C-alpha cells in the first residue's frame, strides 16, 4: 500500500532519479475528432435508447462530457522520484516490495514508459513516462530491487488504444 508523505513520516532514503511527469497526456483534438466522436456517441445513444438500456445512455453521455471537460483543462505536473527504498509519485511513496515486477517500453517518440505491476487490485498497473531520461541506468537500478518482466515488449492494449484514439 502506498504511504501518504504528507501525513506520515516516511524514510525513503536518498533520491537516485527524479523528474516531473504530467498527470495524463494531453492530446490535440481537432474539430474532426469531435465530429467523429459526436457521431459515434449519437449512434450509441440511439442504440441504447432503442434497446431500452438507459444506464448505457447515461454512461455514454457522461463519457462524452468528461472528455470535453478534460480538454478544457491542463494536466497537473506531478513530481516523480526513484529513491533508495521505493518510488515517489506526487505525495505517495511506494516501497519496492509493493511491486511484483516492472518493465520498460521504449519506442521513441511515441512510447517511453516504465510500468510497475502491483498486487493491489484497485491500482494494478502504474505507468510513468520516462520523458527525456535514459532508460538504461533506471532499468539497472530498478532491477536490483524489482524483478524485470522481459516478456513485455509492447505497451498494454488499453494504453495504445487510449493514445491512438486520443482518449486520455
Mean local confidence (pLDDT), 114-132: 85
Percent of the residues in the chain that have a pLDDT greater than 70, as a whole number: 95
**Cis ω on the peptide bond leading into residue 43 (within 30° of 0)?**
no
Contacts of 44 (CB under 8 A, 6+ apart): 56, 60
Q: How confident is the model at residue 11 (pLDDT cuts 50, 70, 90)?
A: confident
CATH 2.30.29 fits 3-21+77-163, yes or no: yes
Q: How far apart are CA 155 and CA 143, in angstroms?
A: 19
Q: How far apart are CA 69 and CA 54, in angstroms?
A: 23
Work out the angle between the directed axes of helices 54-72 and 31-50 (0-180°, nearest 10).
160
Q: Is the dihedral of CA 88, 90, 93, 94 positive or negative?
A: negative
SS3 at position 158: helix
Q: How far apart are CA 69 and CA 65, in angstroms?
A: 6
Cα–Cα distances (Å) from 145 to 70, 71, 86, 134, in that order, read: 36, 38, 9, 19
28 vs 6, residue with greater confidence? 28
pTM value is: 0.79
Nearest alpha-carbon partner for 78 in 120, 128, 148, 126: 128
Mean local confidence (pLDDT), 1-9: 67
Please say if the pLDDT value at position 123 is more than 80. Answer: no
Q: How far apart are CA 70 and CA 37, in angstroms?
A: 14
Amino acid at each position: 500500500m502506498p504511504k501518504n508523505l504528507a501525513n506520515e513520516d516516511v524514510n525513503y532514503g536518498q533520491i537516485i532519479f527524479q523528474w516531473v511527469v504530467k498527470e495524463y497526456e494531453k492530446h490535440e483534438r481537432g474539430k474532426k475528432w469531435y465530429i467523429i466522436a459526436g457521431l459515434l456517441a449519437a449512434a450509441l445513444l440511439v442504440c441504447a435508447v432503442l434497446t431500452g438500456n438507459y444506464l448505457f445512455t447515461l454512461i455514454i453521455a457522461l463519457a462524452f462530457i468528461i472528455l470535453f471537460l478534460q480538454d478544457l483543462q491542463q494536466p497537473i505536473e506531478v513530481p516523480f522520484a526513484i529513491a533508495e527504498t521505493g518510488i515517489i509519485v506526487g505525495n505517495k511513496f511506494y516501497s519496492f516490495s509493493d511491486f511484483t515486477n516492472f518493465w520498460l517500453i521504449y519506442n521513441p517518440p511515441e512510447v517511453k514508459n516504465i510500468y510497475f505491476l502491483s498486487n493491489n487490485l484497485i491500482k494494478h498497473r502504474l505507468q510513468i513516462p520516462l520523458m527525456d531520461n535514459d532508460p538504461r541506468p533506471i532499468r539497472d537500478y530498478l532491477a536490483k530491487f524489482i524483478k524485470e518482466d522481459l516478456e513485455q515488449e509492447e505497451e498494454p492494449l488499453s494504453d495504445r488504444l487510449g493514445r491512438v484514439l486520443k482518449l486520455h
